[in-house]
Structure 1
Amino acid sequence: MSSFSPALVRPVLVDRVLPRSLAVDAALVVAGAALTAGLAQLTVPMWPVPMTGQTFGVLLVGTVLGPLRGALSMALYLAVGVLGLPVFAGGASGSLFALTSGGYVVGFVVAAALVGGLARRAWDRRVVGTVVSFLAGTAVMYAFGLPWLAAVLGRLGPSVWHGALGYDSLAAAVWGAGFVPFLAGDLVKAVAAGLLLPLAWRGATRLRG
């Protein structure tokens, strides 16, 4: 039987504690976007990519809400930021093309859908599954964010990636400024989720019982 069999698709965490309805789903989508916006303001000022808590919010929202609601929540977050609300890191807003980290924001939508899909298959009910799920979602964000960062820094030229950032090549600048500084934090977030989400499942199961 395929691992994508409907028989293996299970409720996500929020479905264990809240009833399903259009109004509830809409409220959860908005709440997920708001949570991500709030965590985006927990910022360590860095350039070209700031260090924030929003990536944890993205993965948590996707896992708890599931693939569709998680992706819609991140799409809403992206949309309201582009429309001018200061929800991006450090209170930024407006066109993603004006942000060196714009690619990561685009990746939020896909990452939330991925971890939500894995949660539908009960990956978030065990420590190892949750950690792997969060790391997979993080990899998706880098898959969108790093090429975007390379394009922006390449357009700005050596005066930025060499003169300002001190790297000898564009590739070194992208790797050193857009990936390496975040590895330890990404691992901590994944492990924290691996410890917390299975506990949340146990609590929700007892509450339901």
Structure 2
Amino acid sequence: MTRVALMVAVMAVAAQIAIPLPFSPIPFTLQVLGVVLAGFLLGPRYGATAMVVYLLVGAVGVPVFANFRGGFDELVGPSGGYLLSYPFAALLAGLAAGAAANSPRGRALAVSFGWGCAALAVIYALGATQLAVVTQLPASVAVAQGVLPFVVFDLVKIGLAAAVATAAAPAIASSRA
């Protein structure tokens, strides 16, 4: 429970490191880093649980979402699809922990990065879909505003999360034993 609570706190902080973009209703944040790290460090079950708790805390009005926002309206608004994707993305990233642990030592980073990219694809798919539906934008415009500006930076965040998780893997494995 402590690790789940800590990851919820990390997500709340990561959401506040937000840079609004003039051409998009979606701000640049560090949330992708937090989501993927939750999965990598906590595993699929607890990583997803941390993201569900994060969403519940925000849904009841605690300002843990980007730009100190909270409330159910955030989950059904333009950025809600990204938020709602977090438990699924953390679960998918959490599968990396097992896959990386079963990989040869030198491949763990690449395996984690690959699973992190799969988690990112889930975030983008659900996020851009809800962005298009809520704002009534064509899908191509929703992708241009809600995905393309973020790809390079999100890949860097996934690489960072994979490096942290790979470096922390021995300590995590010994704490679970």
Q: TM-score, normalised by structure 1?
A: 0.74
Q: State the distance in 2 between where 1:207 and 1:69 align.
A: 15
2:117·2:158 contact (CA, 8 Å) conserved in 1? yes
* Structure 2 residue aligned with 1:38: 13
* Structure 2 residue aligned with 1:87: 64
Report the 3-state secondary structure (helix = DSSP H, G, I; strand = E; otherwise coil) of the residue aligned with 2:70.
Answer: coil
* Structure 2 residue aligned with 1:8: none
| Alpha-carbon spacing, 1:29–1:196, altered in 2? closer, same or farther (3 Å) | closer
Report the 3-state secondary structure (helix = DSSP H, G, I; strand = E; otherwise coil) of the residue aligned with 1:128.
Answer: helix
The alignment of Structure 1 onto Structure 2 pairs a total of residues equal to 169
| Alpha-carbon spacing, 1:84–1:106, altered in 2? closer, same or farther (3 Å) | same
Q: State the distance in 1 between where 2:175 and 2:143 align.
A: 45
What whole-Å deviation, never above 9, does each CA across 1:14-73 have from its counterpart, x for those lacking one? xxxxxxxxxxxx111111111111100000112311110011001101110011111111
2:47·2:94 contact (CA, 8 Å) conserved in 1? yes
Structure 1 runs, 4 residues or longer, greater than 4 Å off: 202-208
| Alpha-carbon spacing, 1:145–1:58, altered in 2? closer, same or farther (3 Å) | same
User: Which blocks of at least 5 consecutive residues in structure 2 are unaligned?
Assistant: none
2:39·2:90 contact (CA, 8 Å) conserved in 1? yes
Q: CA deviation at 1:147?
A: 0.8
Q: CA deviation at 1:91?
A: 0.6
Q: RMSD across aligned C-alpha pairs, in angstroms?
A: 2.2
* Structure 2 residue aligned with 1:27: 2
Q: State the distance in 1 between where 2:75 and 2:99 align.
A: 35
Q: CA deviation at 1:101?
A: 0.6
Q: State the distance in 1 between where 2:119 and 2:32 align.
A: 9
| Alpha-carbon spacing, 1:200–1:147, altered in 2? closer, same or farther (3 Å) | same
2:45·2:91 contact (CA, 8 Å) conserved in 1? yes
Query: Which residue identity does 1:143 align to in structure 2?
Result: A
Q: CA deviation at 1:196?
A: 2.8
Identity fraction in percent:
36
Work out which of the two has the higher radius of gyration on C-alpha atoms and give 1 or 2. Answer: 1
| Alpha-carbon spacing, 1:57–1:148, altered in 2? closer, same or farther (3 Å) | same
Q: CA deviation at 1:141?
A: 0.7
Q: Does 1:135 align with 2:117?
A: yes
Q: Which has the higher helix share?
A: 2
* Structure 2 residue aligned with 1:188: 156
| Alpha-carbon spacing, 1:173–1:199, altered in 2? closer, same or farther (3 Å) | same
Report the 3-state secondary structure (helix = DSSP H, G, I; strand = E; otherwise coil) of the residue aligned with 1:48.
Answer: coil
User: Which blocks of at least 5 consecutive residues in structure 1 are unaligned?
Assistant: 1-25, 155-160, 162-169
Q: TM-score, normalised by structure 2?
A: 0.86
